[in-house]
């Protein structure tokens, strides 16, 4: 297997077939819905909250609410449905979560999307939870993860997952590879390519995206959707706490397995960082869409499909050449 990451790849242009980048269509069908761009903010407590989820759903963006305020989830689904918006929630694999799924079924509260969110998703506990959700909420689209191997993808798909999420430890606030020695950190894009060859259903690239160009690269290497944390941290709408240092405004971004999230130093595999304040998230989403439209035009096409076949070269560390973005 060739090993490379986002910064080692450059995509090769084809002849342009549009008169303006605005003609390029970035929309993606995922489950039964079509979204504006193939991007979803990470289901982390400093990245998404209920008001942001509502704003994203209203504006045709995909979102996944985090699972760290478990008692609010039923009400959240109800409120989204009252506003005629789709509900997309996360669950874990502990015993309480089994009861929660059954309670949703009893109350006829059916989220359109359910993501099973645990660190090591290639496990019997995730397979059991997929079976449980499919038994009680068969209409929900189930995303399962995270995994980093073709075997992981196949097992979760065979268990009934409608999509799998790829990425073990490439995240910006992740310390899994330091604490355990395992993961796809540093070769996430190659891992995505490897996993995509086994996938028969959509896959989500999760973690390690540092620039908008990495979204196009994720699509090239098999992703239908791209989950991003750090690029979405630090916005006006981001739930992370605001902090001022020497007159500069920052917002907190911490890992879901960090001490800040867990409230104790137990199986910590994440850290906290400060992200410079970035303003309105709508501007970032618009820029992502424009950059993706431009990428499609370089691919010589009119929609995301064009990106899936472009040639590429591997040039180690070719993007930054030591420069900062």
Ligand X SMILES: NC(=O)C1=CN([C@@H]2O[C@H](COP(=O)(O)OP(=O)(O)OC[C@H]3O[C@@H](n4cnc5c(N)ncnc54)[C@H](OP(=O)(O)O)[C@@H]3O)[C@@H](O)[C@H]2O)C=CC1
Under a CB-based contact definition with an 8 Å cutoff, are residues 269 and 180 in contact?
yes
Distance in angstroms (rounded) separating the CA atoms of residues 221 and 191? 9
Query: What backbone torsions phi and psi does residue 239 show, to the nearest 5 degrees?
Result: -70, -15
Q: Does 31 bind ligand LQESDW3C (CB under 6 A)?
A: no
Strands 113-117, 141-147: pairing kind: parallel
Q: Does 209 bind ligand LQESDW3C (CB under 6 A)?
A: yes
Q: Does 220 bind ligand LQESDW3C (CB under 6 A)?
A: no
Q: Write down the catalytic residue from 16, 24, 174, 195.
A: 174
Among 24, 118, 130, 190, binds ligand X (CB under 6 A): 118
Determine whether the annotation assigns residue 209 to a binding site: yes
Helix, strand and coil content of the chain, in percent to the nearest 5, comes to 35, 20, 45
Whether 174 is catalytic: yes
Among 38, 202, 270, 301, binds ligand LQESDW3C (CB under 6 A): 270
Distance in angstroms (rounded) separating the CA atoms of residues 53 and 61? 9
Distance in angstroms (rounded) separating the CA atoms of residues 177 and 120? 13
Distance in angstroms (rounded) separating the CA atoms of residues 217 and 38? 12
Q: Does 234 bind ligand LQESDW3C (CB under 6 A)?
A: no
- Binding site partner of 172, from ligand X, ligand LQESDW3C, none, Cβ cut-off 5-8 A by kind: ligand LQESDW3C
Contact track, ligand X, 52-91, x by CB under 6 A: ----------------------------------------
Determine whether the annotation assigns residue 206 to a binding site: yes
Burial label, 84 (beta-carbon count in 10 A; 0-12, 13-18, 19+): exposed
| Structural tokens at position 225 | 């959707």
Q: How many residues does the chain have?
A: 325
- Contact positions with ligand LQESDW3C (CB under 6 A) in 112-171: 146, 167, 169, 171
Among 38, 111, 152, 167, binds ligand X (CB under 6 A): 167
**Candidate ranges 8-16, 85-93, 207-215, 286-294; the one touching ligand LQESDW3C (CB under 6 A):** 207-215
First-residue to last-residue Cα distance in the chain? 30
Which of 112/206 has CB closer to ligand LQESDW3C?
Answer: 206
Sole residue written with tokens 């160009």 = 213
Strands 203-206, 163-166: pairing kind: parallel
Under a CB-based contact definition with an 8 Å cutoff, are residues 216 and 177 in contact?
no
Determine whether the annotation assigns residue 36 to a binding site: no
Q: Which residues in this chain contact ligand X in the complex, by CB under 6 A?
A: 92-94, 117-120, 146, 167-169, 171, 174, 176, 207, 256-257, 267, 269
| Residues near ligand LQESDW3C, by CB under 6 A | 42, 44, 146, 167, 169, 171-174, 176, 206-209, 227-230, 255-258, 269-270
Q: Annotated catalytic sites, by residue? A: 174
């Amino acid at each position: 297997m060739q090993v490379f990451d986002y910064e080692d790849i450059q995509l090769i242009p084809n002849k342009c077939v549009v008169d303006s980048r605005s003609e390029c269509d970035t929309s993606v069908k995922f489950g039964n819905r079509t979204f504006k761009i193939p991007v979803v903010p990470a289901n982390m407590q400093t990245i998404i909250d209920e008001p942001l989820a509502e704003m994203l759903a209203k504006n045709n963006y995909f979102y996944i609410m985090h699972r760290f305020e478990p008692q609010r989830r039923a009400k959240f689904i109800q409120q989204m449905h009252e506003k005629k918006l789709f509900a997309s929630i996360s669950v874990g694999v502990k015993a309480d979560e089994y009861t929660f799924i059954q309670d949703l079924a009893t109350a006829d509260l059916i989220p359109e999307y359910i993501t099973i969110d645990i660190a090591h998703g290639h496990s019997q506990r995730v397979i059991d939870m997929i079976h449980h959700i499919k038994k009680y909420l068969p209409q929900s689209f189930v995303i399962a993860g995270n995994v980093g191997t073709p075997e992981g993808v196949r097992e979760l798909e065979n268990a009934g997952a409608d999509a799998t999420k790829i990425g073990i430890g490439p995240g910006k606030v992740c310390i899994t590879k330091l604490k355990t020695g395992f993961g796809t950190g540093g070769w996430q894009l190659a891992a995505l390519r490897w996993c995509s060859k086994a996938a028969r259903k959509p896959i989500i690239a999760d973690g390690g995206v540092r620039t908008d160009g990495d979204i196009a690269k994720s699509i090239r290497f098999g992703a239908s959707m791209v989950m991003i944390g750090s690029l979405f941290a630090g916005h006006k709408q981001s739930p992370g706490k605001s902090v001022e240092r020497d007159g500069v405004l920052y917002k907190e971004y911490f890992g879901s397995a960090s001490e800040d999230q867990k409230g104790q130093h137990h199986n910590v595999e994440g850290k906290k960082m400060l992200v410079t304040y970035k303003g309105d998230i709508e501007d970032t989403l618009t820029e992502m869409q424009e950059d993706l439209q431009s990428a499609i035009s370089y691919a010589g096409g009119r929609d995301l499909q064009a990106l899936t076949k472009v040639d590429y070269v591997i040039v180690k560390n070719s993007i930054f050449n030591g420069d900062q973005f």
